[in-house]
Amino acid sequence: MFRLSKVRIGHMCGWDARWSRAKPFRRIDFTNGIRLAYVEAMLRSVVALMMAALPLVAQDADAQKKFAGTWEAKFKDKVICTIKLKAGEKISGEMVACSISVDGNGDLQEQDSSEPPDKPSPLLTPKIQGDILTFEDKDDDDVLKFEMKLTGDGQAELRILETPVPIKPIPFKRT
């Protein structure tokens, strides 16, 4: 009786036969082992990402410089709000003596001068995207959202977002 056991027929080549050095797309050297090759590939990826991020870091520093400084909003020759911004690892700053009052149409109106100015309050979650700086400010239990957009050299407009009455942009100048 003749019995055939399971037979596998196929051609098996070594690693070098399938991936010769003559192939142009080979970029990782596997001669020291697969584990080392994967580490090398990961390092190359990290270096490539870091190189790609360098312009973004420089761009972020340039964007911060555009906003850095003391900005003032005036109404009838009186300063109604001051924002001080500092460039650094991340932009930071504070709002000083901001007493903005608007009418039902969202236009600025004269503030009652009997109120003392508030203490400086730090800007919360400041972020720059192009020529726009967004941040928040905590007023008692309320969180107010702001957007400061550069409109020219040393000029910007501040928008107070998500208000019951739409408030028109408030012009600021860097001092």
pLDDT at 29 over 70: no
Q: What pLDDT is stored for residue 49 in this prediction?
A: 61
State pTM to two decimals.
Answer: 0.64
Say which residue, 26 or 104, is predicted with more confidence.
104
Say which residue, 159 or 117, is predicted with more confidence.
159
What's the mean pLDDT in 21-45?
59
Q: What pLDDT is stored for residue 172 in this prediction?
A: 95
Residue 153 and residue 131: Cα distance in Å, rounded? 11
Q: What pLDDT is stored for residue 146 in this prediction?
A: 92
Count the Cβ atoms, other than its own, within 10 Å of residue 15: 10
Say which residue, 161 or 5, is predicted with more confidence.
161
Say which residue, 51 or 58, is predicted with more confidence.
51
Q: What is the mean pLDDT of the chain?
A: 75
Domains of the chain: 27-62 (no CATH), 68-174 (2.40.128)
Q: What pLDDT is stored for residue 102 in this prediction?
A: 84
pLDDT at 70 over 60: yes
Q: What pLDDT is stored for residue 13 in this prediction?
A: 52
Calculate what percentage of the chain has a pLDDT beyond 90: 29
